[in-house]
Amino acid sequence: MRIIVYIIAFLFLFADIACTEEYRRIISLAPSITESLYELGVEQFVKGITIYCSKGMTEKEIIGTLLEPDIEKIALLNPDLIISTKEGNSKAVIEQLKRFGFEVYVVETAKNFNEICVNYYNLAKKLDRKKEAEKIINAAKHSIEEVYGKINALNRLKVFWEIGARPLYTAGKQSFVNDYNYYTKTVNLYKDADMRYLAVNIEDIIKRNPDIIVLVNAGVDINSEEIRNWNKYKMIKAVRNSKVIMIYAGDIFTPTPLTFVKGVAILAKVIYEDVF
C-alpha cells in the first residue's frame, strides 16, 4: 500500500540540515532512537548504535546490546550525548554512564501514538530539530487518519500479539500496541490486562479465540517455524482461517511517528485485503 508519509519524509531527509552545534558525537542505545535520529536527518552525528539497530549497521560503530552496552567502547567514542530509553535500557547502566560524566538523555515510555509523537518532538527539541519533527508528526497524523478513514469495520476483530514464544508473551492495556488496534479498528485480545506486557498460556488463548494472531519477529524465538507451531490449534479462528501473520519487530516495535504509521498500514493491509 502506498504511504504518502514516506514520500514526504524522504524529502525532509534531503532538506537543508542544520543540526545543533552542541551535539556532534551522539550514541544511540535503542533501535527506536537510531530510527528517530535518521528520520530527523542527524545521522552524520551518530557515532555508535546497538546491535539491534537496523539503521546504520554497516557504517556505525556497534556498542553492544540494549541491556549490556560496552561502556569501554562508548568511552573510547567520546560522545557528547548518549540517548537511551526508560523502558528498554537498564537504569543501572544509565546511572553508570552519568557517573562517568557523560550526558545521557532518557526518552520516556510511550503508551500510545500521541505519546510517541510527544517523545519524538522532545528529542527533536533537544537536537534543535523542532521544525523537522513538526513536519514529520503532522504528516504521520495525516497518513494515519487516512488509513483509519478507509476502514469500515462493523465487528471488531480480536488480535493476539505474540511478542515472545518461550514463554508466550503478549501486550496488555498499557502498551502502545493497543493504538495499532485502535487505528485498524480491531481489539487487543488482552486489553483487559492492566500492564504493558504479560505471560499467557495457550489454554487461555484458545478460550479467548482470536481472529488474528500477529507474531512479532525479533529474530530470537519467533520465526517462520512458529507459524507452523500454531497449525496444531485448528480450534482457534485465526489458525483455521489462515490469519496467523508475521511482522518484523523493526516495523512496529521501534516507535517513531513514521514507523507507527508503517505498522498500522501493514496490519490494515493484512486484515482488510479488499480495501488496501
User: Mind listing the pLDDT tens digit for each residue in 169-190?
Assistant: 999 999 999 999 999 999 999 9
DSSP letters of 106-130?
EEPPPSSHHHHHHHHHHHHHHTT-H
Sort 273 into a burial class: Cβ within 10 Å, 0-12 / 13-18 / 19+: exposed
Return the amino acid letter for 243.
K
Structurally, what CATH architecture does the domain formed by 154-271 represent?
Answer: 3-Layer(aba) Sandwich (3.40)
> Which CATH number among 3.40.640.10, 3.40.50.1980, 3.40.50.300, 2.60.120.10 corresponds to the domain 16-144?
3.40.50.1980
CA-CA-CA-CA torsion sign (195, 197, 198, 200): positive
Return the amino acid letter for 168.
L
For residues 166 and 196, give the distance between their C-alpha atoms in angstroms, rounded to a whole number: 18
CB-based contact 165:138 (threshold 8 Å):
no
What are 61's three cell numbers?
560503530
Return the amino acid letter for 90.
S
List the chain pLDDT tens, one digit each, 276 residues: 555 444 444 444 444 444 555 899 999 999 999 999 999 999 999 999 999 887 767 789 999 998 899 999 999 999 999 999 998 899 999 999 999 999 999 999 999 999 999 999 999 999 999 999 999 999 999 999 999 999 987 789 999 999 988 889 999 999 999 999 999 999 999 999 999 999 999 999 999 999 999 999 876 556 677 888 999 999 999 999 999 998 888 888 889 999 999 999 999 998 898 777
Residue of 129, 21, 31 whose CA lies nearest to 81? 21
**16-144 and 154-271 share one CATH topology?**
yes
pLDDT on residue 98: 95
